[in-house]
């Protein structure tokens, strides 16, 4: 560090003032491009936690649409003569309801769905109502579909109505489009039987916006999927997280149940419905409507490598000390077969059993799966001994597939220290590290990967987030420290090949875990400061790391480096140099950015700076104020051939992009 000297800092209203700061000389070695930054470097971790799937990304608006929750009418109100039956057309979802005469011309029969924290509809948008129905005793039955405002004080609760005629004794799918004229985040869907003398059976009652992501009928919420796509994620990990393990093996995520006809995918219990007693959601289940086909399809559409994680024969180790809760090592065959079949489902040609199913579902071409994770954040010898046979089988059948193992739930310590050498011995391709850690940890880990073995497995920072003060919020300071820490991922791109912040999504009324990257309610999406950090890295990842020094030493964020963290890359496709700097200190800092090794005729001419900053470290983006913290970009010209001086404000993450 240079000796402190007064520097000029611009302040509001164009008044300049003298501040005491430090000059920091950052030297970018332009002629020594180093490690390639993998296209997978910055990606997404998806888990159905916080109502991320049903009630979130998956655009279905009806809860318990197949009447298969253990309390079959959960989420539904019923009036008049409604009976539950269990011999429906879908073998794995056999329940349905029968609407029959209420017994008096002034009475009504029907059902009403509460949606996920309400049914959120927007004025002028189209919603596709669909239902499987029949008139079991013959005749022509009619139902009226209504969107109602349960809190209405007006003349009419129903603000949109449509009629449907059920004209067959056989089960058929019926559809009608609703187009509300008003916006209501908390409407309900009501269905009236309007022909009391003709009994009607209803199954798989569904309501989707017509305008889903890419227009898919069994689709994703467009605003949320668009927010994911705008991150340009290199990898998309799914379906979790702990839901891969389940509270018990019965409730683990079973991908085979999540594919095929959507009406016939069996319900699964979501472990997050009871994981935290203080955030208890008894109506949290997995319809599997967002299943593995949809995950693969979404990965493809947002330009990510798909990365499925499968159960290794262990249920959640936090919740099961007893080894009987897990699969015995000699009984893993069907779990291993699940992994092999999944690869066939993703990549197999259409003459194979699972490749055929993929084609039947609308995707004859391979999904080009390259990675598979076996086990979530498992630990101990019980993990290693189960992973081994999986690896042998996958390597034998699919040697081209990269296998990801786990280093357990901790960023360091006993479990971690045991597993890393085991993973190296097993020759997994990548090791999935998890770290939800406080501010102090993130501040101290700038050099975490500097000394990792360059010849061992690569790192997948598969779940991480700064859990700041009170661990509660997505406040700016947490995002800033994530940005600072990520300079170390980038500088070590020869070791770190993937990184995914976690968790990804949370419903403001239904979360179990925070912070999260994107929040949403029934109508809106909020990108947090952490989202913008991820996006800034992803959009500016460049192609190769460039050596960088701060006052002649490697930049590690260590003491004596003025709270500065930095990395530099070149984008060989555009020729740009990109320098990322996080100033975690309370002081403005002068940066003297120098470009060493330019060719004779080369010179830096111009650039842009994008900053993410907030004077209030506790500030966060909210539904009401989604733009409290957003990146701001400006451009500049560079007069000197090979250097540029600027001041980075306190508590700021900045991306400087230089053109030659």
Contacts of 533 by beta carbon, 8 Å cutoff, 6+ apart: 479, 480, 482, 483, 486, 612, 653
- The closest alpha carbon to 467, from 434, 437, 497, belongs to 437
Output 118 or 409, the one with its CB closest to ligand AHR: 409
Output 320 or 352, the one with its CB closest to ligand AHR: 320
**With contact defined as beta carbons under 8 Å apart, do 555 and 548 qualify?**
yes
Report the C-alpha gap between 576 and 610 in whole angstroms.
15
Minimum separation from the CB atom of position 161 to ligand AHR (A): 42
- The closest alpha carbon to 510, from 120, 22, 95, 90, belongs to 120
Structure tokens of 337?
A: 């077969």
Determine the angle formed by the axes of helices 529-539 and 476-491, rounding to 10 degrees.
20
- Side-chain half-sphere exposure of 152, counting CA atoms within 13 A: 15
Minimum separation from the CB atom of position 53 to ligand AHR (A): 13
Output 242 or 267, the one with its CB closest to ligand AHR: 242
| H or E element in which residue 613 lies | strand 606-613
Output DSSP code: residue 94: -
Structure tokens of 200?
A: 């009607």
Output 271 or 386, the one with its CB closest to ligand AHR: 271
Minimum separation from the CB atom of position 127 to ligand AHR (A): 32
Output 178 or 502, the one with its CB closest to ligand AHR: 502
Output 166 or 506, the one with its CB closest to ligand AHR: 506
Report the C-alpha gap between 203 and 188 in whole angstroms.
18
Minimum separation from the CB atom of position 463 to ligand AHR (A): 5
Contacts of 288 by beta carbon, 8 Å cutoff, 6+ apart: 257, 258, 265, 266, 267, 268
Among left, alpha and beta (phi > 0; psi -120 to 50; other), residue 523 is: alpha
Output 406 or 611, the one with its CB closest to ligand AHR: 406
The beta-strand segments (E) located in 239-395 are 268-269, 285-286, 305-310, 371-374
What residue is closest to ligand AHR based on CB? Answer: 241
Output DSSP code: residue 38: P
Report the C-alpha gap between 239 and 281 in whole angstroms.
20
**With contact defined as beta carbons under 8 Å apart, do 578 and 12 qualify?**
no
CA dihedral of residues 282, 286, 289, 295 (deg, nearest 10):
130
**With contact defined as beta carbons under 8 Å apart, do 129 and 175 qualify?**
yes
Output 348 or 409, the one with its CB closest to ligand AHR: 409
Determine the angle formed by the axes of helices 381-397 and 333-347, rounding to 10 degrees.
40
**With contact defined as beta carbons under 8 Å apart, do 243 and 271 qualify?**
yes
Among left, alpha and beta (phi > 0; psi -120 to 50; other), residue 394 is: alpha
**With contact defined as beta carbons under 8 Å apart, do 584 and 480 qualify?**
yes
> Between the CA of residue 504 and those of 70, 160, 389, 479, 635, what are the distances in Å?
28, 34, 31, 14, 32
Structure tokens of 414?
A: 């006993």
Minimum separation from the CB atom of position 512 to ligand AHR (A): 9
Minimum separation from the CB atom of position 521 to ligand AHR (A): 21
Output 24 or 247, the one with its CB closest to ligand AHR: 247
Output 513 or 532, the one with its CB closest to ligand AHR: 513
Output 465 or 604, the one with its CB closest to ligand AHR: 465
* Cα-to-chain-centroid distance, residue 311: 19
Report the C-alpha gap between 470 and 455 in whole angstroms.
39
Minimum separation from the CB atom of position 246 to ligand AHR (A): 11
447 upstream amide cis, omega within 30 of 0: no
Task: Answer yes or no: 305 catalytic.
Answer: no
Minimum separation from the CB atom of position 396 to ligand AHR (A): 28
By CB neighbour count within 10 A (0-12 exposed, 13-18 middle, 19+ buried), where does 241 fall? Answer: buried
- Side-chain half-sphere exposure of 515, counting CA atoms within 13 A: 33
**With contact defined as beta carbons under 8 Å apart, do 406 and 431 qualify?**
yes
Contact residues: ligand AHR, CB under 6 A: 47, 49, 240-242, 376-377, 409, 434, 463, 502-503, 513
Q: Could you say which of 377, 422, 490, 497 is catalytic?
A: 377
Contacts of 520 by beta carbon, 8 Å cutoff, 6+ apart: 56, 221, 223, 224, 505, 506, 507, 508, 526
Output 463 or 590, the one with its CB closest to ligand AHR: 463
Which residues are identified as catalytic?
377
């Amino acid at each position: 560090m240079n000796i402190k000297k007064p520097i000029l800092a611009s302040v509001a209203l164009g008044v300049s003032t003298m501040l005491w700061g430090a000059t920091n000389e950052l030297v970018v070695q332009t002629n020594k491009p180093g490690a390639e930054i993998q296209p997978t470097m910055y990606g997404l971790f998806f888990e159905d936690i916080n109502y991320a799937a049903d009630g979130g990304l998956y655009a279905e608006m009806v809860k318990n649409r197949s009447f298969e929750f253990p309390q079959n009418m959960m989420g539904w109100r019923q009036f008049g003569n409604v009976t539950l039956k269990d011999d429906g057309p879908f073998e794995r979802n056999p329940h349905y309801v029968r609407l029959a005469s209420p017994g008096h011309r002034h009475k009504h029969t029907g059902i009403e769905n509460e949606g996920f924290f309400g049914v959120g509809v927007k004025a002028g948008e189209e919603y596709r109502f669909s239902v499987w129905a029949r008139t079991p005793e013959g005749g022509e039955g009619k139902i009226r579909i209504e969107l109602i405002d349960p809190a209405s004080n007006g003349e009419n609760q129903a603000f949109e109505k449509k009629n449907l005629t059920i004209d067959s004794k056989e089960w058929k799918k019926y559809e009608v489009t609703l187009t509300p004229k008003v916006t209501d985040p908390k409407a309900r869907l009501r269905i009236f039987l309007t022909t009391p003398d003709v009994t009607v059976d209803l199954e798989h009652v569904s309501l989707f916006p017509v305008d889903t992501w890419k227009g898919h009928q069994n689709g994703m919420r467009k605003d949320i999927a668009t927010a994911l796509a705008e991150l340009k994620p290199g990898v998309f990990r799914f379906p979790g997280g702990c839901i891969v393990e389940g509270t018990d093996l019965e409730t683990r995520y079973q991908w085979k149940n999540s594919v095929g006809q959507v009406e016939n995918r069996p319900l699964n219990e979501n472990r997050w419905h009871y994981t935290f007693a203080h955030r208890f959601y008894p109506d949290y289940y997995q319809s599997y409507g967002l299943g593995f086909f949809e995950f693969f399809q979404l990965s493809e559409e947002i330009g990510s490598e798909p990365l499925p994680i499968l159960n290794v024969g262990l249920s959640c180790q936090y919740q099961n000390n007893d080894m009987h809760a897990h699969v015995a090592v000699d009984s893993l065959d069907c779990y291993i077969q699940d992994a092999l079949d999944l690869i066939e489902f993703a990549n197999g040609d259409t003459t194979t059993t699972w490749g055929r199913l993929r084609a039947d579902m609308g995707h004859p071409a391979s999904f080009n799966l390259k990675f598979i994770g076996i086990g979530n954040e498992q630990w101990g010898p019980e993990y290693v001994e189960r992973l081994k046979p999986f690896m042998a089988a996958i390597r034998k059948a699919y040697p081209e597939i990269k296998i990801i193992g786990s280093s357990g739930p901790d960023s360091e310590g006993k479990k971690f220290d045991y597993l890393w050498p085991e993973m190296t011995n097993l020759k997994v391709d990548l090791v999935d590290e998890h770290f939800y850690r406080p501010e102090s940890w993130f501040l101290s880990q700038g050099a975490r990967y500097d000394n990792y073995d360059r010849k061992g497995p690569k790192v997948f920072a598969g779940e991480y987030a700064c859990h700041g003060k009170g661990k509660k919020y997505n406040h700016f300071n947490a995002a800033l420290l994530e940005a600072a820490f990520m300079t170390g991922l980038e500088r070590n791109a020869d070791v770190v090949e993937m990184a995914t912040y976690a968790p990804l999504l949370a419903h403001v009324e239904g979360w179990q875990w925070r912070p999260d990257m994107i929040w949403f309610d029934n109508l809106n999406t909020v990108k947090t400061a952490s989202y913008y950090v991820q996006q800034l890295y992803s959009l500016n990842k460049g192609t190769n790391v460039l050596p960088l020094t701060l006052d002649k030493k490697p930049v590690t964020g260590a003491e004596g480096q003025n709270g500065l963290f930095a990395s530099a890359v070149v984008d060989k496709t555009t020729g740009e140099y990109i320098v990322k700097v996080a100033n975690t200190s309370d002081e403005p800092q002068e940066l003297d950015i120098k470009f060493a090794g330019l060719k004779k005729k080369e010179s830096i001419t111009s650039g842009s700076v994008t900053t993410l900053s907030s004077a209030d470290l506790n500030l966060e983006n909210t539904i009401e104020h989604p733009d409290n913290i957003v990146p701001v970009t400006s451009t500049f010209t560079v007069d000197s051939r090979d250097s540029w001086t600027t001041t980075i404000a306190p508590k700021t993450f900045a991306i400087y992009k230089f053109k030659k």
